[in-house]
Amino acid sequence: MTKVTDKALTPKINSNLQNLKSFRGGKPVPTSLKPDVPQTDITEQAKMLNAEASPETKKSDTSAEVASKATSVAKALAKAPVLPIIVPGKPKDISDKLNDKKIEDKKPAPLHFIKKPAVIFIEGFSAFGISNGDGISEMAENMPDAKKFSWEEHDKILAEIKKHAPDQPVVLVGHSFGGDTAIEVANELNSVKNGFRGIDLIVSIDAVGMNKTIIPMNVKRNLNFFGEGILPFVHGDPTVARNTKYTDVINELRSDMHSKMEDNPEVQFQIFEAINETLGKQGKEDIFIEITETNQIRDILEALKDNS
């Protein structure tokens, strides 16, 4: 019986393996994988490679070169000048920089105050004929550096007062609900938070509201005009000082209608006179006399113009 051998099962010798060394720790390579190259050829080739990679050979070849380079470096270092050694500082941490920024941001901004008196006129509620605001507007327009606000602008009035230097006088003139607002502002300034800011003069013209009768002790003087009306909340009331040692109160009963009291020339004259006296006591300019003289000069110039 003839034995048939499958050529596909016959092992083939890979020519790429003929130069490989044993990877089995010195064990012989299987006979089927051994190349046909004589053993003596491989041994001679290995000897040549080992001789080229020998440390003694490298040492003998490069010792002279290394010694020459070392001599050159030593000579260069001997001639080089001695320089100071600069040690760089430790870089600042980002968190430290942020902390420094926070500290700078917390520095208070310098305060800049207005070195002039704060003279403020406050209009009342103008609906239903309670107040037309004409008298307040007229007085504010003719008082130098005066400001006018509505009775609802409570916070703006406080902010305006705080713009002025603490040593400057403060005058508040309010009609109807504006008079009530003036007294409310004075009460709020009479606190530790606001430094017990003083008010030199409050003029209340027929003030109406809930906080209009007791004048706080940070107010030096209160000139109060009130009507003799019958209906509540349509006329003012007499005011009293919280402490008479610090506050002078003057009450004057008027027969004027509530909406007309601010327009009365006699009331306006007393108001300007009180403001002039208050600012004069502070060593300020005589505003009332200045206004009077200005009006007289204007009248003379107009008369001369008409005659020409």
Return the pLDDT at 288: 47
Cross-strand bridge partners of residue 205: 175, 225
pLDDT (tens, 9 = 90+) of the chain, 308 residues, equals 555 555 555 555 556 555 555 555 555 545 454 455 455 455 565 566 555 555 555 555 566 676 677 777 666 666 666 555 555 555 556 566 556 555 555 566 556 789 999 999 999 987 655 666 689 999 999 999 999 999 999 999 999 999 999 999 999 999 999 999 999 999 999 999 999 999 999 999 999 888 789 999 999 999 999 998 766 667 889 999 999 999 999 999 999 988 889 999 999 999 999 999 999 866 544 444 555 555 666 666 677 767 66
CA distances from 197 to 67, 169, 222, 229 (A): 91, 10, 16, 34
- What's 175's DSSP letter? E
- Both tokens of 148, joined, read 């006018």
Pinpoint the alpha helices (H) of the chain: 39-52, 55-79, 94-105, 134-141, 154-163, 177-189, 265-281, 287-307
pLDDT at residue 61, as a whole number: 54
State the maximum Cα–Cα separation within the chain, in Å, rounded to a whole number.
162
d(CA 4, CA 8) in angstroms, rounded, equals 12
Any idea what DSSP says for residue 232?
T
Domains assigned to the chain: 118-307 (3.40.50.1820)
Q: How far is residue 279's CA from residue 169's CA, in Å, rounded to a whole number?
A: 7
- Could you tell me the pTM of the whole model? 0.57
